Structure 1
Amino acid sequence: MDGALVVGVSGSPSDPSRTSTLVAATVARLAEDLPDARTAQVEIGPLLADLGAAPSREAMSAETRRALETVEAADVLVVGSPAFRAAYSGAFKLFFDWVGQYDLVDTPVLLTATGGSDRHALLVEHQMRPLFGFFQSTTLPLGVFGNERDFTKREGGYDLASVDLELRIDQAVRRALPIVRGGFAAVGADDVRRPADF
């Protein structure tokens, strides 16, 4: 599918953020193999006050509504969260609480996470994959986890510092591409994403 919209979502409340770095690197790698892909990245941290206080989407700022709409319009999502108490961040959950229940049906989602050590790596499988199961999204086969040693801090942000992490990103993308492309081929112009309630 030419011109696919690949959207990254970083659920880190921090800036700078290892999670944002991982999500951006994964989006960039995925876009390399999708012709004319368009990319965008949503940072949840700056939206937290609005997400937590607004009684409805209509009451949110234009920036927050635009972020939610961008995610809902994505052809492919790359989502990431830091590990907090062995789960995804509250910021990550709060954002997806506002995403339309049927707006991510069949959307391919590549899962990523970061944590202080590898003991948090199962966050991707045990916490994130079930969340996107609720949305009836197509979670892609391999998630990507990065620990603190996989990044180096620089002024204003982080860089990937691990060949192993770069290889994990590459492997996850290569495993994802046949599914992503197959999904694009199956979607017709008149398909309706929202299924009947059951």
Structure 2
Amino acid sequence: MKYIKRISVLLLAAFFMVAGTQAIQAEETTRMTFTNEENKTPDLFITKHVESADDRYEVPKDVAFKFVLKLNGKLANKEQYRVFNENGDEVYNHQDGTISSETTNKIPVMTDRNGNFTLYGGYTAKFEYVGNGVSYEILELPQENFQQVSPAAGTSAIGTIKPDGARVEFVNLYMPYVEQKTTDLIVTKHISFPQGYVYDGEDSFHFTLKLEG
């Protein structure tokens, strides 16, 4: 009988030890919850438009326009951005130098350490998650045969990112140099008088001259 009691005591002790171990393990269990939310930090869009100053001449498509970007007064050093063409399709840079969405060797598009980046006519640069309240300054560098009309030539686009983002447009006129042959234009004024009239030579005549409109 004493033997049975000892076994009962040992079993009971073992039960409490297991229960205690499970309780300790339960206390040591840590639960973590990961929640992903959409990043609603506003973006900066920069679009380049080019128009021809003369309908006889088509705007070239292969001209890259250079810009300098500052954010909060500092040059945008190595800032990544996305590029979209005039149809809204995203274009990419690749290690082999081609621009296409079909190959897989894409490399990030980013400004250089001096905040420089380029756009073709009709293209848009999207700088994502710039941040609400961030100030920006964008300067377009001069390009031969192109005149900046908006913003005014020699000026920068300056503003502050709003909660819904910011959109800036640069517009240039394509003004090709056309070599033309030159010649002389001679204007002569002849005066005739009735017989017996003496001209004293003191009268003057005013003209208005227009060339190409």
Structure 1-normalised TM-score? 0.26
More strand by share: 2
Larger Rg: 2
More helix by share: 1
